[in-house]
Structure 1
Amino acid sequence: MAQLLAPAELIAQVTTALDELSEQLRRVPLTEYSKPSSLPGWSNAQLIAHLASLAKAAVRQFESAGAEDVPPMYDGGAEGRIEAINMTALMRPQSLQTLVLDALAQLRASLPAAEPNWEAVVGYRPGAKVADMMYATWREMLIHATDLDQMARPPASWPAEFCAHLFRALEARVPQGARLVLQPHGKTRTVLGQGEKSWVLSGTDFDLAAWLAGRGIPGAIRVTAAADGAADPQLLPWPSDRLMQR
């Protein structure tokens, strides 16, 4: 497995992701807000509303880190999160654009103060620390940038460090009894899972990461099963109910 990023390195990566996403959002035509995104079941407006909501929630987590009674990630839990997204998505596109850009700017401004509290408890998920919230922010910003525009921000634009992180974090999607050997071109292999059913998946690191994240891949992944005639591996749903590896 790759080494975890140092706090300053991860904060720099998240800062870059926020800057790139903000610039991308400024270029989204307001007439496109009501149209479907590449994320099934989500319009562009809903996805943008989610980014604004996530940014505000992350700021609250960072600012309350280590408190005796840390707040939850979202008021009202999962249901409150979806309700807020759907309501916010009804805003006029110009107002929604202003809202999300302001929220991302506030999140960016909060990042430097997170490093001294790196292992302080937050309410993001049970057992979560500031570092976990930072990695989650990185995932949300980069993956949803691709969901908004796969042509402008394809998985090929994801940093190698981010792909390595997704290999670790999304091991939670590997079913019990399965073992996936990821072989990125020209890089060290990564083994996910410890099951008896085994597959080797070969491709670029970003294609493998996108496949693990449930996104479309621009290239090809070669799948080789240890047993002849075995079907391609299937993944579990996105692990939204528990903490993922950093």
Structure 2
Amino acid sequence: MTSPSPAGLLAGLHKAATALTAAMDRIPDGGERAPSALPGWSRGHLLAHITGICNALARQVEYGRRGETVELYDGGVDGRNRAIDLAAGHSLQQHRDDVDEAMQRALTAFDALDGEEWQTHIAFRDGVIFDAGLALWRELVIHTSDLDTGAGPETWSREFCSNLFDFLAARIPADKRLVLQPMALPPLALGAGGSTVVVSGMVTDIAAWLAGRTPSLDSLRATAAGDGTDLPGLLPWPSAIPDPK
């Protein structure tokens, strides 16, 4: 698995932003109150979250370029959740305006980077700005599908799925070893446990399942020792917000 170049990542971010804007444009009047694909969240909750994460990752870049670090969200998890709950009831047009402003802030921040600045240390995951760019890519692409306006995981690119496999390897339980067999692509092993499960299907379906989303092409099949079996349980999505000590 390889990460995109900074130029490739920027192209992916702009493409993802365009797709998200198109998905928002497909939401009918009042549709912001309808459920999203995320349990317990309306589209309004999801749009409020997208606004928040775009602004949060933008400021990681802005502070990082000044040689400063700042936590991802003011107030940590509680601050994030309060902001989502407060904004969830906004009108559809307000959500569109907020998301567009936050996305443009983030894209502007990443577009301004020179080659070396991508490796600037930031507080987010105790990583570098490039990590924040990959995170924004994941957030925009996956949450576009979560809006449930017709663009599901089947639209995810092969490159995006490959990087998602890399990031979500942390979800594999310690006792498991998954051999992913995406159709027409080389197999890939994740995890180092003693119990091996082979998961085959379209690459987007495998990526969607690893991301905790519903595969849209109904192609997944799991086997163990040659026999059909259930898909294994996965660990929680890796959190970007440290637990309070």
Same fold (TM > 0.5): yes
Equivalences for residues 5-16 of structure 1 within 5 A: 5-16=4-15
Taking only the aligned residue pairs, the percentage that are identical comes to 38
Tell me which residue corresponds to 1:120: 120
Query: What SS does the corresponding residue of 2:124 show, helix, strand or coil?
Result: coil
Runs of 4+ residues over 4 Å off in structure 1: 227-231
How do 1:174-213 residues align onto structure 2 when only pairs under 5 Å count? 174-213=172-211
**Amino acid across the alignment from 1:238:** W
Task: Name structure 2 gaps, 5 residues minimum.
Answer: none
In structure 2, what is the Cα distance between the partners aligned to 1:85 and 1:103?
Answer: 14
Change (3 A) 1:101 1:30: farther
CA distance in 1, matches of 2:7, 2:129: 13
* Counterpart AA for 1:189: P
Paired positions, count: 240
Deviation of 1:109 after TM superposition, in Å, equals 2.1
SS of 2:33's equivalent in the other structure is coil
For 1:40 and 1:135, the matched residues in 2 are separated by 24
Contact kept in structure 1, 2:199 and 2:231, CA below 8 Å: no
Cα RMSD after superposing both structures: 1.8
- AA aligned to 2:111 is P
Residue in 2 that maps onto 1:23: 22
Give per-residue Cα distances to partners, 1:19-52, cap 9 Å, x unaligned. Answer: 2112221332231111111111111000001111
- Cα offset, 1:230, TM superposition: 6.1
TM-score (norm 2): 0.92
Give 1:160's aligned residue: 158
- Secondary structure of 2:219's match? coil
Q: Partner residue of 2:53?
A: 54
Quick one: distance in 2 between partners of 1:175 and 1:135?
Answer: 23
Partner of 2:133: 134
Report if the CA contact (8 A) 1:25-1:97 is conserved. yes
Distance of aligned partners of 1:102 and 1:30 in 2 relative to their CA distance in 1, 3 Å threshold? farther
**C-alpha deviations, 1:70-109, integer Å up to 9, x for none?**
0111000011001001101122332222111121122222
- Normalising by structure 1, report the TM-score: 0.92
